[in-house]
Structures are given as structure tokens and as C-alpha cells.
């Protein structure tokens, strides 16, 4: 049986739970757990900072400036910051677990962040393309962008699949 966990929010002290570690991990992956939040697995007798729980995968630091780091936080939070425009390709991120750092633009793994649906872009482009075909080079560039967006959407879907698969294993104790 899964242990029972509680989450205490840093900003207002609100306590959420009881939940399973799988639910708590889902919250962390959905960027709903701050690096300052605390968690408890012993009926709220002791509290630890959320990043101290390896199962939450809060392995990333974001270099906000040369003087300030945000985190540790999850991969999903970094992607949300990218999608919201809060950080750019020039932002340095540090993977604490693997001990490396790089600019976001140099890390292909972050090119799979939350995006608009590529299908929406395909429909919009198709109607535009029928109005004005353009040169062969322009069509190639448009198709390359569509392929890139579809690859990004596939990466996002694969990440969601892995999250669901891990949750299934956690809940049932067996492979799907």
C-alpha cells in the first residue's frame, strides 16, 4: 500500500492531502509544487522541502541571473516557463541529478515544451497555402516547420505517456 503524503504550500501554509506519492509526483510534474513547499509522509509530524524527495524529480535549477537561481524544480516547470516566455533560449539551466548545465537552446530535450496544437497550424497553413503557393524554397521551409512542430508534439505525447506509465507501475506494482 502506498504511503500517505501531505503538501504544505509555502506561500499560504495551506495543507493538501492525503495523497499518494504518485499524485504528489503528478502535482510536481504539473508545476504545482514550488521548491519552497514542504511535504510530509508521517501524518504531518515532520516536514521536508519538496525537492528533497527523489520521487518528485525536482532536479532542475534555472539561472534567473548571475546572482539568483530558481529551483530545484521539475522538467515540466522549466517547460512551462519556456512556453510562457518567462525564460528564453539563452537561459542557463542546471540538472542537479546529472551534474551538467547548458543554455536551453543547446538542450534539445527542452524543445518539447507545451505548445499550440500542430494540427491547428497545419489547418491554418493549408488554407494559406491554397491561396498563395509561394516559391519552392518557401514551401520547403513551411513543411520543415510543420515537421518540427509535429516532432515537438510527439515528444510531449511521449513524456505524458511515460508519466502515465510510471503512475500505473507505481499504483499496480507491475508493468502495463
**Long-range Cβ contact pairs of 47-55 (< 8 A, separation 24 or more):** 47/8, 50/7, 53/24, 55/21, 55/24, 55/25
Q: Which residue stretches of 40-135 are H helix?
A: 75-83, 118-131
Number of domains, the chain: 3
Are 30 and 51 in a shared domain? yes
Q: Is 50 exceeded by the pLDDT of residue 47?
A: yes
Range in 16-20, 38-42, 125-129 with the lowest mean pLDDT: 125-129
Q: Is 60 exceeded by the pLDDT of residue 125?
A: no
Stronger pLDDT, 9 or 109, i.e. the higher one: 9
**Chosen domain end from 97, 112, 127:** 112
Stronger pLDDT, 137 or 98, i.e. the higher one: 98
Give the number of other Cβ atoms within 10 Å of residue 34's Cβ. 20
Burial of 62 from C-beta contacts in 10 A (0-12 / 13-18 / 19+): buried
As a whole number, the mean pLDDT across the chain is 80
Question: Can you give the residue range of the structural domain that contains 25?
Answer: 5-55
pLDDT at 119: 39
**Chosen domain end from 96, 112, 128:** 112
What's this model's pTM, rounded to 2 decimal places? Answer: 0.56
Are 164 and 136 in a shared domain? yes
Q: Is 70 exceeded by the pLDDT of residue 41?
A: yes
Q: Is 90 exceeded by the pLDDT of residue 19?
A: yes
Q: Is 90 exceeded by the pLDDT of residue 40?
A: yes
Are 50 and 29 in a shared domain? yes
Are 129 and 163 in a shared domain? yes
Are 73 and 43 in a shared domain? no
Amino acid at each position: 500500500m502506498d504511503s500517505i503524503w501531505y503538501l504544505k504550500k509555502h506561500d499560504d501554509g495551506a495543507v493538501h492531502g492525503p495523497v499518494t506519492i504518485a499524485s504528489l509526483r503528478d502535482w510536481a510534474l504539473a508545476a504545482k509544487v514550488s521548491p519552497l513547499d514542504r511535504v510530509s509522509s508521517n501524518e504531518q509530524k515532520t516536514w521536508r522541502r519538496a525537492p528533497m524527495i527523489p520521487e518528485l524529480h525536482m532536479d532542475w535549477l534555472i539561472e534567473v541571473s548571475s546572482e539568483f537561481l530558481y529551483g530545484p524544480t521539475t522538467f515540466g516547470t522549466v517547460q512551462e516557463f519556456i512556453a510562457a516566455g518567462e525564460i528564453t533560449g539563452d537561459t542557463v539551466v542546471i540538472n542537479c541529478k546529472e551534474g551538467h548545465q547548458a543554455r536551453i537552446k543547446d538542450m534539445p530535450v527542452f524543445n518539447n515544451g507545451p505548445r499550440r496544437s500542430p494540427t491547428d497550424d497545419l489547418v491554418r497553413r493549408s488554407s494559406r497555402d491554397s491561396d498563395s503557393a509561394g516559391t519552392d524554397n518557401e514551401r520547403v521551409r513551411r513543411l520543415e516547420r510543420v515537421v518540427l512542430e509535429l516532432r515537438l508534439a510527439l515528444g510531449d505525447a511521449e513524456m505524458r505517456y511515460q508519466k502515465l506509465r510510471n503512475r500505473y507501475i507505481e499504483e499496480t506494482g507491475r508493468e502495463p
